[in-house]
Amino acid sequence: QLWESGGGSAQAGGTLTLSCIPSRYTGRLTWFRQAPGKEREAIASIHKNIRTGRTYYVDSVKGRFTISQDVEKNTMALQMDNLKPEDTAVYYCAARRPGISYEERRWGDRSTYDYWGQGTQVTVSS
């Protein structure tokens, strides 16, 4: 359902860009990440209808990561600037089932997402 690409290795302060191609795209798309030994956390989210849905970021990536979409090409991207070693994790793209909506405050609620990519590794060295 979802195809991710763009992971890899970078040095601290560097940049990586992740891409996600969802086959069934409606409503909200969100990037999650999971570091070793930690819970999977939502880090950035965008709504297909940018007029009615907000973009969200977790505090730890605000000002460094930028989520964007190309509706015509049906792709979503996450540009990660000024990378830090603590950004090392497996990154996942997630989407919700069409026709189901949730309150905006649940943008990062993992249980509301039905489709997941296979994950892509990001490793940042100091």
pLDDT at position 56 is 95
Residue 116: C-alpha distances to residues 5, 72, 86 (Å): 13, 21, 23
Tens of pLDDT, residues 67-118: 998 878 888 899 999 999 999 999 999 998 878 888 989 999 999 998 999 9
Torsion (CA) 107, 110, 114, 117 in degrees, nearest 10 = 100
Q: Are 125 and 13 in contact (CB under 8 A)?
A: no
- pLDDT for 25 equals 62
* Strand pairing class (8-11; 120-125): parallel
pLDDT band for position 18 (cuts 50, 70, 90):
very high
pLDDT tens for residues 25-72? 667 889 999 999 999 999 999 987 767 678 999 999 999 999 998 878
Both structure tokens of 113: 């997402």
Name beta bridge partners: 30. 45, 94
